[in-house]
Structure 1
Amino acid sequence: TDMQKEGVIEPLTVKEQAIKSAAEAASMILRIDDIIAASKPKETETEKEEGKEEESETPEF
């Protein structure tokens, strides 16, 4: 069907804006994810080993 005869007109600018908005939202999500990952303290090798030793020392019932 002819969309102009039906009265449906969707300008290209609407589609362009939707794509730009989606790209910006995805970019922000990735940035926030990077910030969260960077803010987590990194465990050193000795801390990891100490954690394993503590787990093995606890008695199991």
Structure 2
Amino acid sequence: MKYDLKQLKVDISQTQIDMCSAGSSAVWHILKYLKELEERLEKLEDRVEELECAIFEGDAGL
């Protein structure tokens, strides 16, 4: 059985390109998810700070 080496090289190159594209896409989705988590964490930190202030203000009134 003979293989067309030129075609095999093209197939390998295309596979590498496809894998790189898939990897880039995965990285993009991970970074997007991390950014969303960062934004949610900032909102939670703000909310915790608000609650702490409310608690301390409540204690001061006792």
The TM-score bracket by the shorter chain reads 0.5 to 0.7
Root-mean-square deviation (CA), in Å? 2.7
The structure with more helix, counted as a fraction of residues: 2
Across the two proteins, how many residue pairs are aligned to each other?
44
**Structure 1: 5+ residue stretches without partners:** 48-61
Query: How far has the Cα of 1:24 moved from its partner?
Result: 0.3
Percent of aligned positions that are identical: 12
Question: When the two structures are superposed, what TM-score results if normalisation uses the length of structure 1?
Answer: 0.55
**Unmatched runs of 5 consecutive residues or more in structure 2:** 53-62
Question: RCO (CA 8 Å, sep 6+): is it higher in 1 or 2?
Answer: 1
- Using the size of structure 2 for normalisation, the TM-score is 0.54
